[in-house]
């Protein structure tokens, strides 16, 4: 049984995968296994997975005949993992050489069930920035709720937003198994996963050292037009509501639903005006008006006045609240031209 199972979902990642895998095989911590989950790739990724597995017995290539999505790829990795702890890595990202060693020792020395690190954002233009999970320290049950669970539940508007990145953590495989925690869907799936996990975790050790290199990819799912976003978001809210009820979270954030719906509405508006949307500008405006008239969105608009957001989001929210949809559409047309 290895100490850590590293799970990498792989889809059309032939050119990134060798460097990603090398960041694991070069770890100063050697008690790991690497699970490369080929999610129905049609490029050379599957062959790269097999070659990497042939070169190192700690690497396993798992092949899925059809593309089932990132959640099912990660779930396959969880089902096959033999490690006591689980780490996630995306195929176009990389660990720092001491990532697993530092997280392992941090957790062990604190007597924690989970460890977390900061990460480094790598921007397309060459810039970088560091983003923390939480300030360095050891967090008990209440600290975990205050620092992670409640922000994920209801604090989704004011900056800074707590990002639900799963690859910043070393997870307990026992907690995941006992609570039956898995992934669902291809968007916002990591937020629900983190919420449920940290509703079950008892102690978290955190370092501010950036141990993960996150490549911001303009072609990722979060930057593409999603024709089914309304349905995807509705399912997300359904699952979040179930967790809030199951773990008694409502009292700490009584307006979590309105706050989350406002955040989802702003994402939906941006998605509706995305370049990949084939609708005419008139159709886009009408779709946005329809979104805002949905009962749950109308209630969020009535009950919550967004504050503390970025300037662009603040402007969009004000135009939505005031019903200035023609002007909102005009601003997005100008934005798309530049």
What are 11-52's pLDDT values in tens digits? 999 999 999 999 999 999 999 999 999 999 999 999 999 999
pLDDT at 147 over 80: yes
Average confidence score pLDDT of the chain: 96
Do 25 and 34 meet the contact criterion of CB atoms below 8 Å apart? yes
**Cβ neighbour number for residue 242 with a 10 Å cutoff:** 12
Q: Cα separation of 276 and 219, whole Å? A: 12
What are 294-335's pLDDT values in tens digits? 999 999 999 999 999 999 999 999 999 999 999 999 999 998
Q: Buried b / exposed e across 245-270, counting CB within 10 Å, b at 16+? A: eebebeeebeebbbbbbbbbbbbbbb
Do 300 and 258 meet the contact criterion of CB atoms below 8 Å apart? yes
H helix or E strand, kind and range, residue 241: helix 229-246
Please state at what angle helix 256-272 crosses helix 229-246, rounded to 10 degrees: 160
Q: Cα separation of 211 and 84, whole Å? A: 20
pLDDT at 107 over 90: yes
Q: Given this model, what pLDDT does residue 223 score?
A: 62
DSSP state of 161: P
At 187, the pLDDT band (50, 70, 90 cuts) reads: confident
Instruction: Give the three-state DSSP class for 297.
Output: helix
pLDDT at 153 over 90: yes
* Adjacent-strand bridge partners of 130: 120
Q: Given this model, what pLDDT does residue 144 score?
A: 98
Q: How many CA atoms lie within 13 A of 104 on its CB side?
A: 19
At 186, the pLDDT band (50, 70, 90 cuts) reads: confident
Q: In terms of Cα–Cα distance, which of 198, 92, 62, 104 is closest to 142? A: 198
Tell me which CATH code domain 4-215 carries.
Answer: 3.90.550.10
Domain ranges of the chain: 4-215, 255-337
Q: Cα separation of 21 and 43, whole Å? A: 17
pLDDT at 221 over 70: no
Q: In terms of Cα–Cα distance, which of 15, 81, 8 is closest to 38? A: 8
Q: Given this model, what pLDDT does residue 93 score?
A: 97
What tokens does 258 get? Answer: 């309105």
pLDDT at 222 over 70: no
């Amino acid at each position: 049984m290895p100490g850590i199972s590293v799970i990498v979902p792989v889809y059309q990642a032939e050119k990134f995968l060798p460097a990603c895998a090398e960041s694991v095989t070069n770890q100063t911590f050697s008690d790991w296994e690497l699970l490369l989950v080929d999610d129905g790739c049609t490029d050379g990724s599957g062959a790269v997975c097999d070659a990497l597995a042939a070169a190192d017995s700690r690497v396993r290539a798992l092949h899925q005949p059809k593309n089932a999505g990132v959640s099912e790829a990660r779930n396959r990795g969880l089902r096959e993992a033999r490690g006591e702890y689980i780490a996630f890595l995306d195929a176009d990202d990389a660990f720092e050489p001491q990532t697993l060693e530092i997280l392992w020792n941090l957790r062990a020395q604190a007597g924690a069930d989970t460890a977390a690190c900061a990460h480094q954002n790598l921007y397309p233009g060459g810039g970088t920035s560091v983003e923390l999970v939480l300030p360095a320290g050891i967090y008990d049950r209440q600290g975990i709720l205050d620092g992670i669970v409640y922000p994920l539940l209801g604090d989704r508007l004011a900056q800074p937003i707590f990002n639900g990145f799963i690859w910043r953590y070393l997870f307990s495989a026992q907690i995941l198994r006992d609570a039956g925690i898995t992934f669902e869907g291809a968007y916002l799936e990591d937020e629900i996963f983190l919420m449920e996990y940290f509703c079950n975790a008892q102690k978290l050790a955190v370092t501010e050292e950036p141990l993960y290199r996150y490549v911001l990819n303009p072609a990722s799912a979060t930057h593409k037009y999603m024709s089914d976003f309304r349905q995807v978001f509705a399912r997300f809210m359904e699952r979040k509501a179930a967790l809030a009820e199951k773990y008694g979270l409502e009292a700490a954030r009584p307006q979590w639903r309105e706050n989350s719906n406002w955040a989802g509405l702003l994402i939906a508006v941006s998605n509706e005006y995305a370049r990949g949307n084939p609708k005419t500008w008139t159709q886009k405006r009408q779709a946005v008006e329809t979104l805002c008239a949905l009962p749950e969105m109308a209630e969020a608009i009535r009950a919550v006045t967004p504050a503390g957001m970025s300037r662009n989001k603040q402007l969009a929210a004000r135009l939505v609240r005031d019903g200035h949809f023609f002007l909102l559409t005009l601003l997005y047309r100008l934005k798309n031209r530049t």
